[in-house]
Chain A
Amino acid sequence: MTPGTTPAEDRRRFRRTLVRVLLVQAIAVALLWLLQYRYSG
């Protein structure tokens, strides 16, 4: 747990961060997929 925060705050922050990171990675993976789909068939 992060010093100075409650477990509930920690869980909320973790969920928010996880969603943000996954969203950015999903965009990166989608672009790579598009590249493969468009040019490799």
Chain B
Amino acid sequence: MHPINWIIVVAYIAYVVIDGIRRAKGTKELEGYFLANRSLPWWAVGLSVMATQLSAVTMIGTTGQGATDGMRFIQFYFGLPIAMVVLGVTLVPFLHGARVFTAYEYLERRLNPATRTLASFLFLCSRGASVGVIIAAPAVVFSAVFGWTLPYAVALIGVPTVLYTMIGGVQAVTWADVKQMVLIVFSLLAIVIVLLVQLPVAPGEALSIAGATGRLRTFDFSFNLTDTYTFWSGVIGGFFLMMSYFGTDQSQVQRYLTARSVPEARTSLLMSAYWKIPLQALVLMIGVLIFVFYLFQAPPLLFNPAHESAVRAEAGAEYGALESRFNEAWTERESAARTLAVSEGAAGVAAAERFRASEDIANGVRTEALDLANRVTGQPSRDVNYIVPHFVLTYLPIGLAGLFIAAIMAAAMSSISSELNSLSTVSVIDFYRRWLRPDATDAHFLMVSKFTTAFWGLIACVVATYAATLGSLIEVVNRFGSFFYGSILGVFLLAMIPFVKPWPAFFALIAGMVAVATVSFGAPSISFLWHNVIGVFTVLLAGILLSVVAGTRGAGANPG
């Protein structure tokens, strides 16, 4: 990468860290450190909510998915806008009005300490591991693309983030998120403009070519429990997933607990309701346009440079033969794409057929190359995450490439910082202060909070280093989260029902997790999006039935 690009990346990291440390001024007590004294404006909180959800996986993985699979992933988010509106009248006023530090504190206030402790323990387990995965995703790509060792790549992302999160608290996290979100959106728009300028065909022709491969097919109305990306799994399963994520996950709840008031907290979530789907459409469309771009600019046979050099060294002759076959296929595909771009009517249909046939041949050769890389390296060789970095580093102008690499780091850091901040909050408020030192001073808790932020940062970096080498660990982390996400939402909803009693709610939470685990192991083909639906309804049903059976209807616990 050009030195100017590196200067931009280093300047970005330095700016975020220095600005974060500068914001430590307003965090002299616990409420300032964890909740910014509930003083932040809705637009800053809203951008922080969006930045927390948007990680480096979105920047490199989702764009790559757009290039290989098209726009249909966007269906995953169709339940989000409705979830935000429903949260605005359910959990947001309850949690913000309760003046709590953590969502789980509310569970003890309304139910009992056991439910609070179990929910917060599950949060620590899942988020503690997933923050490592969020570091691992870009670190693996950076180490392959720039030739760094993995621990170095992990440290480059993890250490600055831990530093500003630990010193500046939620103020630093939120205001860094605002700047990071602006950088991310700016760099995404810049890459679209560069793509449109560099494509040798008009935008409409590019879309025709992408459409011929099915990459613009956004909607799948089939009702299929095993497919994650259908309209119904997005609207129904996605609705409950987003309700759980934004309503009960401390990494998001803490964002809007910092808002000045309930209406501002609600408005901050509505920012996502309005902008999340258009933003995801932009991210996926970048992938689609990069796919079209590589129809006219010869792509590498393998996008992962580390795998490519390993395969060349170990199986050079076999790889060379594959490359010459791929070049032939690419030449035919490029010619077919140019014909398709200018064809209409019956000629257009024939051109589309020819293009699809050449696309199948090129994809077949690429699959053989990926299998070869898998045999040689012994690692998963899927290279979706390397498509966008290859485009950025090869074809973006000097300066813009550095900006996009900084944006990938910004996306990672904005998610990591929020999660470290929330992990520290739950550790201190729900465990240390609740069970170990309830009478300690604010200054003591503040010191412990900074220590726990550093502790979780260290755990995240260790998990990232191992998650990167154990590809299946990432899947385990994602699957583990889906075991109880819906169940925890269920117990929060139970807490809002006046006649539900504490222990029935606790056992309902256990029942929900058992039900999801049973479905997960008994019918593993069912998409994880439906696990949330199963968890929510099992907990609600079990909690209400157990409360009725216990004969406690009308005993009247206060839901506020």
Q: Interface of A with B (CB < 8 Å)?
A: 1-3, 10, 14, 17-18, 21-22, 24-25, 28-29, 32-33, 35-36, 38-41
- If A25-B81, A28-B277 touch, whether A14 touches B89 (CB-CB below 8 Å) is yes
- If A33-B219, A35-B216, A40-B216 touch, whether A21 touches B89 (CB-CB below 8 Å) is no
CB-nearest residue of chain A to B280: A28
B270 close to A (CB within 8 Å): yes
B20 close to A (CB within 8 Å): no
- If A14-B85, A32-B219 touch, whether A2 touches B270 (CB-CB below 8 Å) is no
Query: Which of B85, B93, B218 is the one whose CB lies under 8 Å from A2?
Result: B93
The interface residues of chain B lying within 8 Å CB-to-CB of A18 are: 82, 85
Chain A: minimal CB distance from B232 (Å): 14
The interface residues of chain A lying within 8 Å CB-to-CB of B479 are: none
A18 to B517, CA, bound (A): 34
B433 close to A (CB within 8 Å): no
Q: Are A22 and B81 in contact (CB under 8 A)?
A: yes
CB-nearest residue of chain A to B231: A29
Interface SS of A by simple majority:
helix
Q: Are A32 and B85 in contact (CB under 8 A)?
A: no
Chain A: minimal CB distance from B449 (Å): 28
A2 to B281, CA, bound (A): 33
Q: Are A21 and B216 in contact (CB under 8 A)?
A: no
Query: Which of B89, B211, B266 is the one whose CB lies under 8 Å from A40?
Result: B211
B210 close to A (CB within 8 Å): yes
The interface residues of chain B lying within 8 Å CB-to-CB of A17 are: 85, 88, 270
Query: Which of A3, A24, A39 is the one whose CB lies under 8 Å from B208?
Result: A39
Per-position 1/0 for B74-89, Cβ under 8 A of A: 1000100110110011
Chain B: minimal CB distance from A22 (Å): 7
Chain B: minimal CB distance from A16 (Å): 10
Q: Are B211 and A41 in contact (CB under 8 A)?
A: yes
Q: Are A35 and B218 in contact (CB under 8 A)?
A: yes
Q: Are B211 and A39 in contact (CB under 8 A)?
A: yes
B278 close to A (CB within 8 Å): yes
B207 close to A (CB within 8 Å): yes
Q: Which 6 A-B pairs have the closest CB atoms?
A: A39-B211, A40-B211, A32-B218, A39-B207, A14-B89, A39-B216
Q: Interface of B with A (CB < 8 Å)?
A: 71, 74, 78, 81-82, 84-85, 88-89, 93, 97, 207-208, 210-212, 214, 216-219, 262-263, 266, 270, 273-274, 277-278, 281
A24 to B263, CA, bound (A): 20
Q: Are A32 and B74 in contact (CB under 8 A)?
A: yes
A35 to B171, CA, bound (A): 41
A10 to B81, CA, bound (A): 19
Q: Are A36 and B84 in contact (CB under 8 A)?
A: no
A-B residue pair count with CB separations less than 8 angstroms? 67
Q: Are B207 and A35 in contact (CB under 8 A)?
A: yes
A10 to B346, CA, bound (A): 57
- If A14-B85, A17-B88, A18-B85 touch, whether A36 touches B274 (CB-CB below 8 Å) is no
A10 to B88, CA, bound (A): 10
Query: Which of B71, B82, B214, B278 is the one whose CB lies under 8 Å from A21?
Result: B82
Q: Are A2 and B211 in contact (CB under 8 A)?
A: no
The interface residues of chain B lying within 8 Å CB-to-CB of A25 are: 78, 81, 273, 277
Q: Are A2 and B274 in contact (CB under 8 A)?
A: no
Q: Are A40 and B214 in contact (CB under 8 A)?
A: yes
The interface residues of chain A lying within 8 Å CB-to-CB of B88 are: 14, 17
Q: Are B81 and A21 in contact (CB under 8 A)?
A: yes
Chain B: minimal CB distance from A19 (Å): 10
Q: Are A36 and B218 in contact (CB under 8 A)?
A: yes
The interface residues of chain A lying within 8 Å CB-to-CB of B97 are: 3
Chain A: minimal CB distance from B94 (Å): 9
The interface residues of chain B lying within 8 Å CB-to-CB of A41 are: 211
Chain B: minimal CB distance from A12 (Å): 11
Query: Which of A3, A21, A40 is the one whose CB lies under 8 Å from B270?
Result: A21
* Cβ contacts A to B, 26 pairs, < 8 Å: A2-B93, A2-B262, A2-B266, A3-B97, A3-B262, A14-B85, A17-B88, A21-B82, A21-B84, A21-B85, A21-B270, A24-B274, A25-B273, A28-B277, A28-B281, A29-B78, A32-B71, A32-B74, A33-B218, A35-B216, A35-B218, A36-B217, A38-B207, A39-B207, A39-B208, A40-B214
Query: Which of A28, A35, A36, A39 is the one whose CB lies under 8 Å from B278?
Result: A28
Additional A-B contact list (13), CB under 8 Å, known A35-B218, A36-B211: A1-B93, A2-B263, A10-B89, A14-B89, A17-B270, A21-B84, A28-B277, A29-B78, A29-B277, A33-B219, A36-B71, A36-B219, A40-B214
Chain A: minimal CB distance from B35 (Å): 17
The interface residues of chain A lying within 8 Å CB-to-CB of B281 are: 28, 32
Chain B: minimal CB distance from A10 (Å): 7
The interface residues of chain B lying within 8 Å CB-to-CB of A36 are: 71, 211, 216-219
